Amino acid sequence: MVEIALEFGTGTKCCAARGLGTPIEHHLIDDTCYVTCRSPDSDSELIHDTVPVDMVCACRVLASHGCIPSLESIDSERMVVRTNPENRRVLRELMADLDDIADSVGLRSLVVNGAQSDSDSALVNLQELTVLERETVEAAILAGYYDRSGGAGFGDLARDLAITKSALSKRLSSAEAKIMRNLYRNE
């Protein structure tokens, strides 16, 4: 199972909860967004609000893919949402649909659970990669390059990115090395 955090420019297509404060809890039921937020004026004061949703928003897109949105942060220009797509195919479709409503969409981090138990999970922080490395890893994930069942081949991925196999190899090697160092830094 993969958990992702999405960050994207929102413009007018943002979640209806924008501007209410730091989200603690958020639920979309039918055409209403139920939000509990921390007040911008006080860390101890909570705001409970319901906001009618009359637009296509990120939370609706997530829900349409069977994903439950968890707002991590939101302001007038961007929001970070955590969710847990069923599989990589759903992740690819979700990212494509979010790209249709947002100015930009990007993976910020992944939590990959091992086969044994939840204690085998590891956080993969993609923010430490360069923009080029992050875009390459994101394209590889979305194309299915890392899927055990096949997915995109190395040559296909290089062709999709319009780069040589050598350039792809260098980008992935550099990104993968940084990811591995990050994973084992605290062990």
Q: Which amino acid is at 11?
A: G
Residue 173's pLDDT is: 92
Residue 163's pLDDT is: 95
Threshold 0.75, pTM exceeds: no
Per-residue pLDDT for the chain (187 aa), expressed as one digit of tens each? Answer: 345 555 555 454 556 566 666 676 777 777 777 778 777 777 778 878 777 776 677 778 888 898 887 777 776 667 788 888 888 788 889 988 888 877 778 887 776 555 444 445 566 677 788 989 988 988 888 888 887 776 788 899 999 999 999 999 999 999 988 888 877 665 5
Contact (Cβ atoms closer than 8 angstroms) between residue 75 and residue 59: no
Angle between helices 88-101 and 131-143 (to 10 degrees): 120
Residue 123's pLDDT is: 63
Three-state secondary structure call for residue 116: coil
In 30-179, DSSP assigns E strands to: 32-39, 42-52, 70-74, 78-83, 106-112, 122-125
Residue 17's pLDDT is: 63
